[in-house]
Structure 1
C-alpha cells in the first residue's frame, strides 16, 4: 500500500506542472487594466446647458410664420418682473410673460390699446398677437429670439 501511495505522489508531482499555467498563459488570462487603474477618468456625457431667457432686452419682429416683415413694425420686451410689453403694429400691449424650464414660454391674457388702423395693420397685429399668446417654446438662434407656438412662429431681432 505504501508503494501505491508513493507512486501516486510521484505521479501527482510530475503532472502538477503540466496542469499549472505557464507564465505566458497566465499573462494572457490577466485582466486588462481599467481606465481608473490607468489614471483616466471615465467619459461622462455633458448635459445640454439650459439657456437663460434674455430678460430686459428689446426685440423687433423680423419674420412672422416664415414670412419676412419689413414694412410692419412690432416689438416685444420682457422685463425682470415678467411683464411683456410692446407694440403690435397698431396698438401697444402688455401681458404676463413667463420663461419656463427647458425653454418653455407662457404668455397670459394680453391687454391692448384700442387705436384705429387700416385693415392691413390690424390683420398683421392680430396674427402677431395670436402667435405671441400661444407661444410654447423659445430659443436663441444666431442672436435672434424665436418664439414657437400652436398658432405659428415669430422671429425677433435685438432692437435699439
Structure 2
C-alpha cells in the first residue's frame, strides 16, 4: 500500500500548481501605448488630407490595419520608446482617381519608412526615415 509522505504531498502540490498555471488563459500584453488605438490621418508631410482621409488602427499583438483612402491594408508593427517600424504591409490593389491615389501613395511611403512616433496632446505624429510625417487624430 502506498503511503502518502510529506515529500509525495509536496511534489503533488507543486505539480498541481504548475499544471494550473500552464492551463490559465494567456492575455498578451500590448507592445506599446499605441495598442488598441485608432486614428484618422489629418496631414501628410504638412499637406491636409482630402475627404477620403487614410485611417490606421493599432491592434493588440502588434497588428496594424486601416485604409489608405482607396485601398485597405494590414501588417505588423513594433513601437517602443518613440521608435516604430511597420513591416509585412499588404494592401489591396484597387485604382482610384488621381488625387486620391497620390495621397495614398504619400501615406504608404511614410508608413513604410516609419521610424519615430510621438504623442502630442491628442495627436499622434509618425515620422519616416526621410523626415516626412503623418499627423493623426483619434477616431
Q: Residues 109-124 of structure 1: matches in 2 within 5 Å? A: 109-124=88-103
**Aligned partners of 1:57 and 1:77 also within 8 Å:** yes
Q: Residues 51-70 of structure 1: matches in 2 within 5 Å? A: 52-70=32-50
Q: Does 1:133 align with 2:108?
A: no
Q: Distance in 2 between matches of 1:119 and 1:69?
A: 14
Structure with greater strand percent: 2
Structure 2 residue aligned with 1:106: 85
Q: Residues 1-160 of structure 1: matches in 2 within 5 Å? A: 52-100=32-80, 102-151=81-130, 152-159=132-139
Question: Structure 1 runs of 4+ off > 4 angstroms?
Answer: none
Greater RCO, CA 8 A, separation 6+ = 2
What is the TM-score when the length of structure 1 is the normalising length?
A: 0.63
Q: Distance in 2 between matches of 1:87 and 1:72?
A: 9
Q: How big is the alpha-carbon RMSD for the aligned residues of Structure 1 and Structure 2? A: 1.2
Match of 2:88, SS state, is: coil
For structure 2, the residue ranges without an aligned partner over 5 or more in a row are 1-31
Asked which structure has the greater CA Rg, the reply is 1
Displacement of 1:153 in angstroms is 0.1
Give CA-to-partner distance per residue, 1:63-96, whole Å, 9 cap, x none. Answer: 1101222433110011111110000010000111
For structure 1, the residue ranges without an aligned partner over 5 or more in a row are 1-51
Q: Distance in 2 between matches of 1:73 and 1:67?
A: 12
Aligned length: 107
Q: Distance in 1 between matches of 2:119 and 2:58?
A: 15
Structure 2 residue aligned with 1:37: none
